[in-house]
Structure formats: structure tokens, C-alpha cells
Structure 1
Amino acid sequence: MAVRRVVPNIQSEAVQESREFYGLLGFEEVMNHGWIVTLASPSSPAAQVSVMAGDKTAPVTPDMSVEVDDVDAAYAVMRESGAEIIHPLQDEEWGVRRFFVRDPSGRVVNVLGHR
């Protein structure tokens, strides 16, 4: 299993204002589902930040997202380790397969793979 990218998720009631703020630093919008906007550096596309009002299908807003090349393997590893699964493994309508897990410091991590 390999990590493809890591993206901080910022919960905000001011999504548009945050989009504009990070735009001042050179980030450009690469995804917008209304409830989440992902911004990336044009010169280094894996450098990203997401701003979200709340998660559309999960009970909590994750603190960060980790994209892996095999989300099913990551899920199996986390379950076997006894880590707390916050949101079960499932396919989402926007093309990702994901689950949420709590890290030892209490942060919620969205672990995902693109289908």
C-alpha cells in the first residue's frame, strides 16, 4: 500500500472566503462539490488543501485526507490494529471509496482511493 497524497481538511462556515484567501497564496480550485472545495498549487498539484462546511455522508468532518493506492488493504490494516473506525468503508457517489479512522491523538483521518 502506498500513500499518494495527504490533504488537510479545514472545517469552515466561510468556504467561499477561505477559497479566496488561499487563492491569494496561489492555490486554484480543482474540485467543488458545494460542501467541499479542494484547492491545489498549479506548479505542484499534489500540494492541496480542502475547505468544507461539513461532510456530506459521514457523521463528522475529517481533519485530513490520505489517498492510498489500495483503500481496502488500508481498511483491513486499520481494523486488524484495533483502530477506531468512525465511518465504514463505502463507495461514494463522487467516485471515491473511503473510510474514516481516529488516530492516537484523536484526529479523524479520511482514508480514500479513487475508483
Structure 2
Amino acid sequence: MAVRRVMPIIQSEAAQESREFYGLLGFEEVMNLGWIMTLASPSSPTAQVSVMTVDKTAPVTPDMSIEVDDVEAAYALMRDSGAEIVHPLRDEEWGVRRFFVRDPNGRVVNVVSHL
């Protein structure tokens, strides 16, 4: 299993202000679903930050997202390790397969692969 990118997720109602603030650092909007917006560096597209009001289909808002090339393998590893699965493995309508797991610090991690 390979990690493709790691992205912090900021829970906020200030999407426009965040877009402007991170825009000053060179980030540009690459996705906006209304409840989540992702900003990326044009020169290094995997350098990203997301701003989320609330997760559309999960009971909690994750703190970070880790994109992997094999989400099923990641899910099996986390489940078998005894880690707390916060949101089950599932396909989402916006083209990803994901699950949430709680890390040892109490942070919720969205582990995801694109379909």
C-alpha cells in the first residue's frame, strides 16, 4: 500500500475567508462541493488543505485525509490492529471509497482512494 497524499482538514464556516487567506500563500481552489472545499498548490498539486463545514455522510468531521492506493488493504490493517473505526468503509457519491479511523491521539483520519 502506498500513500499518495496527506491533507489537513480544517472544520470551519469561513470557506471564503479561508480561500482568500490560503490564496495569499499560492493555493487555488481545485474542488468545492459546498460542504468541503479543497485548495492546492499549482506547482505541487498534492500539497493541499481542505476546509469543511461538516462531513456530508459521516457522524464526525475528520482532522486529516490520507489518500492511499489500496483503501481495502488499509481498512483491513486498521481493523485487524484493533484501531477504532469511526466511519465504515464505503463508496461515496463524489467518487471516492473511504473510511474513518481514530489515531492514538484521538484525531479522526479519513483514509481514502479515488474510484
User: What range describes the TM-score normalised by the shorter chain of this pair?
Assistant: over 0.9
Question: What SS does the corresponding residue of 2:19 show, helix, strand or coil?
Answer: helix
The aligned residue for residue 94 of structure 1 is 94
The aligned residue for residue 82 of structure 1 is 82
Alignment of 1:26-105 (within 5 A): 26-105=26-105
TM-superposed CA distance for 1:15, in Å, is 1.2
Superposition CA RMSD, Å: 0.4
Q: Unpaired segments of 5 or more residues in structure 2?
A: none
Question: What SS does the corresponding residue of 1:42 show, helix, strand or coil?
Answer: coil
Per the normalisation by structure 1, the TM-score is 0.99
Per the normalisation by structure 2, the TM-score is 0.99
Q: Unpaired segments of 5 or more residues in structure 1?
A: none
TM-superposed CA distance for 1:16, in Å, is 1.2
Deviations 1:77-96 (A, max 9, x none): 00000000000000000000
Alpha-carbon distance in 2 for matches of 1:11, 1:73: 28
The aligned residue for residue 11 of structure 1 is 11
- Which aligned runs of 4 or more in structure 1 are off by greater than 3 angstroms? none
